[in-house]
Chain A
Amino acid sequence: DAGVTQSPTHLIKTRGQQVTLRCSPKSGHDTVSWYQQALGQGPQFIFQYYEEEERQRGNFPDRFSGHQFPNYSSELNVNALLLGDSALYLCASIGGQGGHTEAFFGQGTRLTVV
């Protein structure tokens, strides 16, 4: 158990709808990254949150947005869902310094857009 909690575990949405996914990082970790994993592919970086701000962003459209709360938990929002947004969405909880930097992943949210 990596201590990273994601909810919900599965979700079915209709094309055009909006969705919010949630992540609680491991205790003591203050940085959260979100990844999208399409079937048969490796995870692709969406963005990272630290100190309640988006610090880095991958090659994803503005329909993907996020938020980090003072307790370090985070949300991923996707607007105007497309069929191609169907994927496993992973949250990575990152903490530590120097040689002890660690990153643990949650079990993911499986999003299906129909």
Chain B
Amino acid sequence: NAGVTQTPKFRILKIGQSMTLQCTQDMNHNYMYWYRQDPGMGLKLIYYSVGAGITDKGEVPNGYNVSRSTTEDFPLRLELAAPSQTSVYFCASSPTISGANVLTFGAGSRLTVL
């Protein structure tokens, strides 16, 4: 059981380039999330999804886009990379269990924009 898989693990982008961070989970979880973590800081929610075809903005959505065409996949797209998007990105998922919301995280994708 792989859990939450993120690719790539590392990436360097030039300013203005675009890329997609991939996230796949094999636990049939309905909820999926994208967070970013800046050095010495906690995680901040970028986007989330409560099921296939449904996405919504989190705390810091500007400069990002997401889609959720299947239950398994939740890619995060950066359209015009900026230095402020240098960060570590984490994807997470959780089941829709009433009264509990334990998250399973991926290992992270470290992005540097130069």
A complexed with B = no
User: Which residues of B are in contact with A by a Cβ distance under 8 Å?
Assistant: none
User: Which residues of A are in contact with B by a Cβ distance under 8 Å?
Assistant: none
